[in-house]
Amino acid sequence: MSKFVTIVDYGIGNILSVRRALEHVGAEVALADDAAVIARADYLVLPGVGAFRDGMEGLVRQGAAEAVVAHATAGKPMLGICLGAQMLMSTGEEFGAHAGLDIIPGRVVQIPATGADGVPHKLPYVGWADIAEARPGSFAGTPLATFAAGSAVYLVHSFHIEPARDEDRIAVYEYNGATVTAAIRRDNVIGMQFHPEKSGPVGLHILRSFLGS
């Protein structure tokens, strides 16, 4: 049976590629740019590419922010991708301090500017990375539960998530010895800093797992 997925359209994001990926794994997909449509969603996806400030301004301008929070609070499945994952947090520090959706307490900060050796490295991080459990067993019960060790996902970002609770961080990757958050999860809400829709078969498998199929 097809799963019905609603993608939040707030004027910023990689909506077309996300939609195609979800349809590829068997979902029926609708776009929503107002609170009433979001309120009827079964599965909700919050995508996004760009700056935290601009993303939040887009959600507020569309009148969608409260509906997204209500969906999460109702216990329905929700996935944030890239900027969409960052906006799940309480605050973001890109271009100054800005309030987020506060669905998962924490903040969005710049990736460490240097590696473990103190040598500056390139930001934004652009490319593929092998992700790993943030702690033993952190993938259990999440869409990453059957993620194959050594598999890589695609990322483009300069900022990453620091959840207030360590247990909300489920996946990380290493950038020259600096640990960077790759995914977070609390209850029914999961955020992926990486782009599953751009991560080939691995990403499609993760999306299937999110849909429980």
Please, are residues 68 and 101 in contact by the beta-carbon 8 Å criterion? yes
pLDDT in tens, 175-193: 999 999 999 999 999 999 9
Active-site option among 71, 94, 98, 197: 197
Cα separation, 103 vs 28, whole angstroms = 26
pLDDT in tens, 71-91: 999 999 999 999 999 999 999
**What kind of architecture, by CATH, is found in domain 4-210?**
3-Layer(aba) Sandwich (3.40)
23 is catalytic: no
Whether 147 shows a pLDDT value over 90: the answer reads: no
pLDDT reported for residue 155: 97
82 is catalytic: yes
pLDDT reported for residue 149: 74
Active-site option among 82, 94, 98, 160: 82
pLDDT reported for residue 151: 85
With bands split at pLDDT 50, 70 and 90, how would you rate the model's confidence at 143?
A: very high
Whether 142 shows a pLDDT value over 90: the answer reads: yes
Grouping H, G, I as helix, E, B as strand and the rest as coil, residue 128 is strand
pLDDT reported for residue 159: 95
Please, are residues 94 and 159 in contact by the beta-carbon 8 Å criterion? yes
Cα separation, 9 vs 102, whole angstroms = 19
Q: Which residues contact 185 (CB under 8 A, 6 or more apart)?
A: 142, 168, 170, 191
With bands split at pLDDT 50, 70 and 90, how would you rate the model's confidence at 136?
A: very high
Considering only 35-44, 59-68, 142-151, which range has the smallest mean pLDDT?
A: 142-151
Please, are residues 110 and 159 in contact by the beta-carbon 8 Å criterion? yes
Would you tell me how many other CB atoms lie within 10 Å of the CB of residue 121?
A: 15
Q: What is the pTM of this model?
A: 0.94
Burial of residue 111 (number of CB atoms within 10 Å: 0-12, 13-18, 19+): middle
Would you tell me how many other CB atoms lie within 10 Å of the CB of residue 30?
A: 14
Burial of residue 133 (number of CB atoms within 10 Å: 0-12, 13-18, 19+): middle
DSSP letter, residue 120: B
Q: Is the omega angle on the peptide bond into residue 124 within 30 degrees of 0, that is, cis?
A: yes
Cα separation, 29 vs 18, whole angstroms = 10
66 is catalytic: no
